[in-house]
Amino acid sequence: MPFALSVHGLTKKFGNFTAVENISFDVEDGKFFSILGPSGCGKTTLLRMIAGFYRQDGGTILFNGEDMSSVPPNRRPVNLVFQNLALFPMMNVFENVAFGLRRRGEKGSGVARKVNDMLERVGLPDSGEKQISQLSGGQKQRIAIARCLVLDPAVLLLDEPLGALDAKLREHMKVELKTLQANVGTTFVYITHDQSEAMVMSDTVAVMNKGTFEQTGSPQELYHRPRSSFVAQFVGNNNRFLIVPSRDDGGAPAGLYAGRFSFILDDACRSLQDGIPCEMFVRPEAMVIEPGSDTPGFNRMPVQVRAVLFDGGNSRLLVIPEGTEDEIVVMLPQTGLYDHIRAGDRIMVGWDPGISLCFAGNGGKPYDER
């Protein structure tokens, strides 16, 4: 069975700037595929090429195995939920949903039946007569999706459709979109810069940076086994240490941090070249506060608490490793065990070397979220 969407070697240039560079991927039928990347990474350009609004400078786009690289947007079996939704304000809900059907030449009761079925499926029956301006943010969302799904597209593209919603509604819509996709079984290709959206909803996530895919995999894979420094920083929160690899007395890999702490490194870091600075990542939840001094093979580091960031189940400590300026985030379990910790305290933190990750070179520059 052919893939719902297959992209091979897709490239797009604007003048000298290469917005999308030689991207290839396949999306299985019925899957939820996300493209995650910071703004300006080229994800919208990629999406517009798939939809047909941009002509690619190279590569092919196949829907269900059929090459549609040069088919105009209105003849592609793909529909797009726009970032601003682009619902037609001069039409009511029914006319919006019926628009595509009527453009296909469908008429009469068939249109009405399909539209009403679709409105029911997105949980908004009897809203056909409403004006777009009468809908809430979440309802508009659903109508924009219904308008596309009624055409039964091979692939539904979504361009950060949750961006305009407030935080609470966004959380709710994440779950709702996921359920909706599972129910209708249409292939979704979802674009976002919000890693949480991508993680919660997707079967597969592609992390995009500077016009190329850095890594494609399940959310779990991306989180636990990032293959690049960028993915490690972009997916989930991470603490970053600049270290210089060396060997300990027994010849096992070790890393010198800030010129004063020597960390035990994971076996996976064996390939690093001694003496050349590299990055090591440890997730906040992998950090242990006041680890027992009896655990062998554990990394330990004295730190000073700069701030206690209480946020319920997501509470953290902001700490400074002694003798450095770096800020490290440590998860603060709300078990009552650590309630005594105050800003200014000196404590120990530690982690199991097996869960740290190392990446060679990157010029030592952190990825800047802004």
Partner 1 sequence: MIRSLPNQPAYIAGYRLYIGLYFAFLFAPLLVTCVLAFNDSQFPALPWKGFTLEWFTGALPHRMGIFHDRVNLDSIWASVQVAFWVTLLSTAVGVCAAFLFEQEHFPLKGLLYFLMLAPLVIPGVILGISILLFANSLGLFVENRWGIDVGLLRPGFWLVVLGQFSFIATLVTLIVSARLRKFDRTLEEAAMNLGAGRLAAIWFITLRFLRPAIVGAAAVAFLMSFENFNTTLFLVGSETTLPINLYLQVRDGSTPVINAISFLLIVGTSTAAVANLYFSRRQV
Partner 2 sequence: MNGRIRLNWGFLFFFLPVALWLLLLIVLPHAELLRLSFTSSRPGGFTLQNYMAFFSEPIYWLTFVRTAFYSVIVTFLVMVIALPVAFYITKVARVRAGGFLMVLILVPFWVSELIRVYGWIILLRESGVINRLFTSIGLFSRPIEMLYNDVTMIMGLVYTSMLFMVVPIVGVMDALDDSLIEAAYDLGASKTAIWRTIIIPHCMPGMVSGGIIVFMLVLGSYLTPNLMGGKNSLWFTEQIYNQIILYFNWNQGAAFGFLLLILSSLVIWAGLRVTGQKLSRVVQ
Q: In 82-106, which positions are buried (b, 16+ CB within 10 angstroms) versus exposed (e)?
A: ebebebeeeebbbbbbbbbbeeeee
Determine the angle formed by the axes of helices 109-121 and 93-103, rounding to 10 degrees. Answer: 120
Q: Does 55 bind partner 1 (CB under 8 A)?
A: no
Question: What is the nearest approach in angstroms of partner 2 to the Cβ of residue 83?
Answer: 14
Q: Does 191 bind partner 1 (CB under 8 A)?
A: no
Q: Does 151 bind partner 1 (CB under 8 A)?
A: yes
Q: Which of 99, 298, 338, 367 binds partner 1 (CB under 8 A)?
A: 99
Indicate which of partner 2, partner 1, none lies near residue 55 (CB less than 5 to 8 Å, by partner kind): partner 2
Q: Which is nearer to partner 1, 75 or 168 (CB)?
A: 75
Q: Does 204 bind partner 1 (CB under 8 A)?
A: no
Q: Does 335 bind partner 1 (CB under 8 A)?
A: no
Give the interface size with partner 1 as a residue count (CB under 8 A): 26
**Interatomic CA distance for residues 353 and 280, integer angstroms:** 10
- Among the candidate windows 23-31, 48-56, 182-190, 246-254, which touches partner 1 by CB under 8 A? 48-56
- Of residues 263 through 302, those in contact with partner 1 by CB under 8 A are none
Indicate which of partner 2, partner 1, none lies near residue 82 (CB less than 5 to 8 Å, by partner kind): partner 1
Question: What is the nearest approach in angstroms of partner 1 to the Cβ of residue 82?
Answer: 5
Indicate which of partner 2, partner 1, none lies near residue 86 (CB less than 5 to 8 Å, by partner kind): partner 1
Q: Which is nearer to partner 1, 52 or 321 (CB)?
A: 52
CA dihedral 104, 105, 110, 111 (to 10 degrees): 60
Nearest to 113 by CA among 131, 94, 130: 94
Q: Which is nearer to partner 2, 16 or 293 (CB)?
A: 16
Q: Which is nearer to partner 2, 51 or 305 (CB)?
A: 51
Q: Does 82 bind partner 1 (CB under 8 A)?
A: yes
Q: Which is nearer to partner 1, 78 or 201 (CB)?
A: 78
Q: Does 53 bind partner 1 (CB under 8 A)?
A: yes
Question: What is the nearest approach in angstroms of partner 1 to the Cβ of residue 99?
Answer: 5
Nearest to 153 by CA among 145, 161, 141: 145
Q: Which is nearer to partner 1, 63 or 257 (CB)?
A: 63
Phi, psi of 44 (to 5 degrees): -70, -35
- Among the candidate windows 124-132, 144-152, 233-241, 335-343, which touches partner 1 by CB under 8 A? 144-152
Indicate which of partner 2, partner 1, none lies near residue 338 (CB less than 5 to 8 Å, by partner kind): none
User: For the chain, how far is it from start to end, CA to CA, in angstroms?
Assistant: 42
For residue 125, count other CB atoms closer than 10 A to its CB.
12
The tokens of 283 are what?
Answer: 């997730």
**Interatomic CA distance for residues 323 and 304, integer angstroms:** 10
Contact footprint for partner 2 (CB under 8 A): 53-55, 72-73
* Dihedral (CA of 18, 208, 282, 225) sign: negative
**Interatomic CA distance for residues 327 and 331, integer angstroms:** 13
DSSP 315: -
In this structure, the strands spanning 155-159 and 78-81 are: parallel
Name 260's Cβ contacts closer than 8 Å, sequence gap at least 6.
Answer: 323
Q: Provide the β-strand partners of residue 338.
A: none
Residues at the interface with partner 1 (CB under 8 A): 51-53, 72-75, 78-80, 82-84, 86-91, 99-100, 103-104, 147-148, 151
